[in-house]
Amino acid sequence: MPEKTEKLLMKGNEAMAEGALRAGCAAYFCYPITPQSEIPAYMAKHMLERHLVFLQAESETAAISMVYGAAATGARVMTSSSSPGMSLKQEGISYLCGADLPCVLVNVARSGPGLGGISPAQGDYFQSTRGGGHGDYYHIVLAPKDVQECADFTFEAFDLADKWRMPVMVLADGLIGQMMEGVVLPEPKDLSTLLPKPWAVGQQGRTARAFNHVSSMSLVPAELEAAINARFARYDLVRKTETRVTLSNCEKAELVMIGYGSSSRVAWGAIQLAKAQGIEIGLLRPRGLWPFPYDEITELAEQGKKFLCVEMSMGQMIEDVLLAVGARSARSKESSVHFVGRCGGNIPSEEEVFAKAKEILAGRSEPWRLDGRLRSDGSARGAGR
């Protein structure tokens, strides 16, 4: 008989915390902020009882600096925050990327800009996927859509960080962080299988050098340029091997919705409404936001598909979709890109997404334009700008 697998009822935040612990997270540094505060609460309880390092820092900037120090020793380390807290961590994230240090960053996004509100949103897409700090860099971004993926993606993030020597972000939102669902937790990592990190500090006697120096600073322009070029060559390998996307029902559909995280759940609900009326609509869900699935979208654009981006923002991911369609596809004029979104902590409903889809299929929707104009009524909901 197959061994029974226990399914637990957990919040998304708790699942991310437990996924980190099972991946071998040895140190966690944080500063509390809603709606991710269950993560530090869970880590405080379970890390201390396991004699691991938990520290609530005096600020977000202090916490990310502690992550840098722990990562430099080769430890598996994580921090978590929410939108304005992640903004405060951006300088430290830039240092981590500049020093090629692996770590895991969790952002349970809320609405903004500024302090905004504590309701869920997806307005951190640009910050997360474009290198929110200074300089030329990227890092991997994973986007769970449910509590199961919260556990799985956070667990896997530690392996990805070590594999590519870079930070890996798990970008969720307040809805996913707070919702409760059944989850099957991954088996704890066998830490004896982890590869050594000869580049880490504290490795005296284990390498040919007497000591290792981990830093993002280089005052010789030619040397810094060479280091950045080498890093971007590694980014190209990440793009080729770590692009994560799920396509559903895209073959027969004239229209393909594109959404990640909570928005993909709304899009899938709208697709079920369409199915009940005999309308075929597809879904392309990026499970990772960097690297972004440009090739998969371009391939659909070459087939003349139309696209509807569903977002909890004023439209950020849609710019990558437009790049995949307009700049890369010979049939971009046939593959119009449309948008439906809510912001300020509001979530698009399945009904309004389906209504927008019917407008597109009937030819009554204007494609999205990047000229900053809204509809005459001043709203962005379902608008083509």
CATH number of the domain within which 156 lies: 3.40.50.970
Indicate if 105 and 168 belong to the same structural domain.
Answer: yes
pLDDT of the residue at 211: 77
Average pLDDT of the segment spanning 145-154: 98
What is the band of 206 on the pLDDT scale with cuts at 50, 70, 90? Answer: low
Q: How many domains does the chain have?
A: 2
Are residues 81 and 190 both part of a single domain?
yes
CA distances from 270 to 10, 48, 94, 172, 247 (A): 26, 44, 39, 21, 16
* Residue 274 belongs to domain spanning: 245-361
pLDDT at 385 over 50: no
According to DSSP, residue 9 is labeled E
What integer is the mean pLDDT of 149-166? 98
**Residue 250 vs residues 38, 45, 144, 242: alpha-carbon distances, Å:** 37, 45, 21, 21
Whether 209 has a pLDDT exceeding 90, the answer reads no
Do 198 and 251 fall into the same domain? no
Given a cut of 80, is residue 5 above it in pLDDT? no
pLDDT at 329: 62
Would residue 376 count as lying in a domain?
no
Q: What is the pLDDT of residue 382?
A: 43
Q: Which of 194, 225, 241 is the last residue of a domain?
A: 241
Q: Which residue has the higher pLDDT, 220 or 376?
A: 220
pLDDT greater than 70 at residue 325: yes
- The last residue of one of the domains, among 241, 269, 303, is 241
Q: What pLDDT is recorded for position 217?
A: 95
The answer as to whether 273 is a domain residue is yes
pLDDT over 60 (residue 299): yes
Q: How high is the pLDDT of residue 43?
A: 98
Q: Are residues 138 and 271 in the same domain?
A: no
Q: What local confidence, expressed as pLDDT, does residue 282 receive? A: 98
Is 25 within 8 Å of 77 (Cβ atoms)?
A: yes
Judge whether 371 lies within some domain. Answer: no
Q: Is residue 282 included in any domain, yes or no?
A: yes
Chain center to CA of 254: 28
Query: How high is the pLDDT of residue 333?
Result: 66
pLDDT tens for 102-122 read 999 999 999 999 999 999 999
d(CA 380, CA 385): 8
Residue 1 lies in a domain: no
**pLDDT-based confidence at 207, cuts 50/70/90?**
low
Say what the pLDDT of residue 205 is. Answer: 56
> Contact, 84 vs 112, CB < 8 A?
yes
The string of pLDDT tens digits covering residues 339-376 is: 999 999 999 999 999 999 999 999 999 998 776 443 33
- Is-cis flag, bond preceding 293, omega within 30? no
Mean confidence (pLDDT) of the chain? 92
Average pLDDT over residues 40-46: 98
% residues pLDDT > 70 (the chain): 91
Distance CA 136, CA 131 (A): 7
CB-CB contact of 368 with 338 (8 Å) = yes
The mean pLDDT value for 123-149 works out to: 97
What's the pLDDT at 2? 45
Q: Are residues 36 and 143 in the same domain?
A: yes
Helix (H, G, I), strand (E, B), or coil: what is residue 104? strand
Structure-token match 């030619």, residue found: 222
Q: Is the per-residue pLDDT at 203 higher than 50?
A: yes
Read off the pLDDT of residues 304-323 as tens digits, 9 standing for 90 and up. Answer: 999 999 999 999 999 999 99
Considering the domain boundaries, does residue 3 fall inside one?
A: no
Contacts of 153 (CB under 8 A, 6+ apart): 19, 142, 143, 144, 170, 287
Claim to verify: residue 229 and residue 258 sit in the same structural domain: no
Looking at the fold, whether 210 and 290 belong to one and the same domain comes out as: no
Tens digits of per-residue pLDDT, 224-252? 999 999 999 999 999 999 999 999 999 99
Residues 76 and 208 in one domain: yes
Q: Are residues 181 and 253 in the same domain?
A: no
**Nearest residue to 336 (alpha-carbon basis) of 364, 374, 375, 372:** 364
CA atoms within 13 Å, Cβ hemisphere of 306? 20
Q: What is the mean predicted confidence (pLDDT) over 58-85?
A: 98
**Is residue 135 assigned to a domain?**
yes
Whether the pLDDT of residue 79 is over 80: the answer is: yes
CB 120 within 8 A of CB 312: yes
Residue where a domain stops, chosen among 198, 224, 241: 241
pLDDT the model gives residue 343: 96
Domain CATH for 350: 3.40.50.920
218 and 253 together in one domain: no
74 plus 109 within the same structural domain = yes
Residue 372 in any domain: the answer is no
Residues 100 and 228 in one domain: yes
Per residue in 257-283, pLDDT (tens digit) is 999 999 999 999 999 999 999 999 999
Contacts of 362 (CB under 8 A, 6+ apart): none
Half-sphere exposure of residue 291: CA atoms within 13 angstroms, side-chain side: 20
